Amino acid sequence: MIYDIGIIGAGPVGLFVPFIAGIKKLSCITFESLDFIGGQCSALYPEKPIYDIPAFPYITAQDLISNLEEQSKKFAPKINLSESITHFEKEGDIFVLHTSKNNQFKVKSIILATGGGKFTPNRPPLKGIEEFENKSVFYSVTNKSLFTNKNIAIAGGGDSAVDWALSLSCIAKKIYFIHRRDKFKASPESISMLEELSRDGIVEFVIPFQLKSLKGENGMLQKLLVSSLSGEEKTLNVDTLLPFFGLMTDSSLVDVFGLEKHNGYVAVNKTNMQTSVKGIYAVGDIASYEGKLKLILSGFSEVASAVYDIKKLLYPDLIERFEYSTSIFAK
């Protein structure tokens, strides 16, 4: 089968493509390097509230992903998880995509929706940490209930660390907040809320300290050793460690397609989101142009612009009048 669109990335913006493509009667297939959909929304802050999605006073990141998935179900989207694009070749106007699973797929156009690129969390340099990962050491929170009544150590000083400390404080037995400095990179409002929890004894600041070693059995954490820059050490009795030290991103996919760049991202024509290569489009955070706003809602608009242009590119002789979604779904 030759698909009209090959979508690379299944974050919130990438997940919107199958819905718009379905409305335009275009077939598509999505490739996601992770083993789940949702991108950073699902990997880093699934239960964090988002306030700038139209018609939702607030919605959690995971609920947004679930809603986008539900919205496109009418068109039975095909999503290949744990599969990334390694290289491609052209057969006339057709792109032949080669994947990490040694598969080949033919598409007439491509939409890149990879955000900042493939990402993996920065792992703390702790001996034997692999034994504890996904058992008592987690780099993301996908199910808050797993942390109910736990003694949790959260390490980091950015938004992710502070936000999760606030979110888990209502269900955890105790939270130790570890940071090597007394200054944070989170929003002032969130920091104020965290300081209030500290005054109430729900959160204990372990500052300025950094992680030194883990102790436990069979992957289950029992004690966490931390040390200060001056050499002072503390032992914390904890069940769980959540280290939030940012992400390593891999944007090599841009080089695979040989695309021109703008400010380190993919340069596009902002009227239709087409890149420097005909038939390849970019939307969301990976796309760059003058006046770009890195908002999810901007990405949704970019998807519509790209898909509508692809329809004209692939089927130039098709006369099609514009229809509102109400009339499309009433049929």
Percent of the chain at pLDDT > 90 equals 73
- Of 112-116, 171-175, 206-210, the range with the lowest mean pLDDT is 112-116
Give the other-Cβ count within 10 Å of 8's Cβ: 24
Given this model, what pLDDT does residue 186 score?
Answer: 81
**pLDDT tens digits along 18-29:** 999 999 999 999
**pLDDT tens digits along 199-242:** 999 999 999 999 999 999 999 999 999 999 899 999 999 999 99
User: Burial letters for 50-72: b for 16+ Cβ neighbours within 10 Å, e otherwise?
Assistant: beebeeeeebbbbbbbbebbeeb
Query: Who wins on pLDDT, 215 or 35?
Result: 215
What is the biggest distance separating any 2 CA atoms in the chain, rounded to whole angstroms?
74
76 Cα distance to chain centroid: 22
If pLDDT is split at 50, 70 and 90, which confidence band does 187 have? confident
Percent of the chain at pLDDT > 70 equals 94
Which residue spans of the chain are classified as CATH 3.50.50.60?
A: 2-120+248-329, 123-245
Tell me the sheet residues that pair with 118: 250
Q: Please state, in angstroms and as integers, the Cα–Cα distance from residue 303 to each residue in 180, 182, 233, 273, following that order.
A: 41, 42, 52, 8
Helix/strand/coil for 238: coil
Given this model, what pLDDT does residue 260 score?
Answer: 93
Structure-block tokens of residue 1: 């089968």
Mean pLDDT score, 252-264: 84
**pLDDT tens digits along 279-326:** 999 999 999 999 999 999 999 999 999 999 999 999 999 877 766 677
Helix/strand/coil for 217: strand
Given this model, what pLDDT does residue 327 score?
Answer: 65
Query: Who wins on pLDDT, 40 or 308?
Result: 308
Domain at 2-120+248-329, CATH from 3.40.50.180, 3.40.190.170, 3.50.50.60, 3.40.640.10: 3.50.50.60
Given this model, what pLDDT does residue 163 score?
Answer: 85
- Spatial separation of the C-alpha atoms in residues 204 and 239, rounded to whole Å: 15
Tell me the sheet residues that pair with 213: 225
Place of tokens 């808050």: 144
Residue 263's contacts (CB-CB under 8 Å, 6 or more residues apart) are 288
- Spatial separation of the C-alpha atoms in residues 45 and 37, rounded to whole Å: 13
Given this model, what pLDDT does residue 43 score?
Answer: 72
Residue 118's identity, in one-letter code, is K
Query: Is the pLDDT reported for residue 175 higher than 90?
Result: yes
Angle at 300 between CA 296 and CA 301, to 5 degrees: 120
Q: Is 281 exposed, middle or buried (0-12, 13-18, 19+ CB in 10 A)?
A: buried
- Of 113-122, 149-158, 239-248, the range with the lowest mean pLDDT is 113-122
Given this model, what pLDDT does residue 13 score?
Answer: 97
Given this model, what pLDDT does residue 48 score?
Answer: 75
If pLDDT is split at 50, 70 and 90, which confidence band does 118 have? low
Domain 123-245 has what CATH class?
A: alpha beta
Q: Is 4 exposed, middle or buried (0-12, 13-18, 19+ CB in 10 A)?
A: buried
- Of 2-16, 32-46, 262-276, the range with the lowest mean pLDDT is 32-46
Given this model, what pLDDT does residue 119 score?
Answer: 63
Please provide the average confidence, as pLDDT, over all residues in the chain: 91
Query: Is the pLDDT reported for residue 331 higher than 70?
Result: no
Query: Is the pLDDT reported for residue 254 higher than 90?
Result: no
3 state SS for 141-193: CCCHHHHCCCEEEEECCCHHHHHHHHHHCCCCCEEEEECCCCCCCCCHHHHHH
Query: Is the pLDDT reported for residue 259 higher than 70?
Result: yes
